[in-house]
C-alpha cells in the first residue's frame, strides 16, 4: 500500500509540528517536576490547546477533535507521570513516536471527514503487507464497507484506521500504518 505523495508530505509536516508540541510538553513536565501535582492541570490544558492549534492548520476543530485532544492530553500526562523515572518518557525518541502516531490519526480523520463531505458512499481498509502488520489489520485488508459503517478490527470498531470513537484500543491503533480509501 502506498500513500499519495501529497498525503505523505502532509503527515510529515504534521508530525514535525506535533513533535515540537511534544517537546514543549516534556519541557514543562521537566521544569515543574518537583511541583508537578500543582502544575498538572495547567500543563494538560496547554498540551490540549497546542494540539488543537496544530490541528486547526489542517481542519476545523469539531466536537470530536475537541474531546480527542482533551483525552490525549490527560492520557499523555498520566502515562508520563506514572513512569517519570524512565528517561524515555521525556526523550526526543518518544516525541517522534507520539507525533508520528498522532499525525497518522489526524490525516485519517481529515480524509474521512473530507470523504463524507464529498458525498463518498464507501470506504476500503488498506493495510501494509509486511511482517510488522497486525493479523487483525491484514484480516480486513481490502474490506469494503459503507461510508458510515464501521470496520471490525479485532475487538475494535473503527470508522477509519486509528479511530478511537468507539473505545480506546491501543493494541489496534498504536503504530498502525493502515489507511482508508474512499469512493
Beta-carbon-side half-sphere exposure of residue 109 (alpha carbons within 13 Å): 23
pLDDT of 18 > 80? The answer is yes
In the block, which residue shows the cell 484480516? Answer: 139
pLDDT of 50 > 80? The answer is yes
pLDDT at 168: 79
pLDDT at 3: 86
**Domain boundaries, given as residue ranges, for the chain:** 1-118, 120-183
What is the rounded average pLDDT for all residues in the chain? 95
- Residue of higher predicted confidence among 45 and 129: 45
Record the pTM: 0.92
Contacts of 64 (CB under 8 A, 6+ apart): 109, 165
Q: Give the C-alpha distances (Å, rounded to integers) separating 43 from 48, 78, 120.
A: 9, 12, 40
pLDDT at 1: 63
Cα angle 150-180-19, degrees, rounded to a multiple of 5: 110
Residue 159 — very low, low, confident or very high, per pLDDT cuts 50/70/90?
A: very high
Contacts of 157 (CB under 8 A, 6+ apart): 150, 151, 166, 167
Amino acid at each position: 500500500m502506498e500513500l499519495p505523495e501529497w498525503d505523505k508530505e502532509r503527515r510529515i509536516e504534521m508530525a514535525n509540528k506535533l513533535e515540537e508540541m511534544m517537546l514543549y510538553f516534556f519541557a514543562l513536565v521537566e521544569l515543574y517536576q518537583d511541583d508537578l501535582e500543582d502544575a498538572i492541570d495547567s500543563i494538560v490544558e496547554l498540551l490540549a490547546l497546542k494540539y488543537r492549534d496544530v490541528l486547526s492548520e489542517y481542519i476545523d476543530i469539531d466536537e470530536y477533535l475537541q474531546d480527542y485532544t482533551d483525552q490525549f492530553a490527560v492520557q499523555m500526562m498520566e502515562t508520563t507521570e506514572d513512569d517519570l523515572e524512565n528517561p524515555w518518557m521525556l526523550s526526543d525518541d518518544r516525541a517522534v513516536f507520539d507525533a508520528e502516531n498522532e499525525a497518522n490519526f489526524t490525516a485519517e480523520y481529515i480524509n474521512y471527514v473530507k470523504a463524507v463531505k464529498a458525498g463518498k458512499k464507501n470506504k476500503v481498509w488498506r493495510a501494509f503487507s509486511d511482517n510488522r502488520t497486525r493479523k487483525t489489520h491484514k484480516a480486513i485488508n481490502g474490506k469494503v464497507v459503507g461510508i458510515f459503517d464501521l470496520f471490525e478490527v479485532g475487538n475494535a470498531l473503527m470508522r477509519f484506521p486509528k479511530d478511537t470513537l468507539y473505545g480506546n484500543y491501543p493494541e489496534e491503533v498504536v503504530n498502525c500504518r493502515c489507511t482508508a480509501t474512499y469512493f
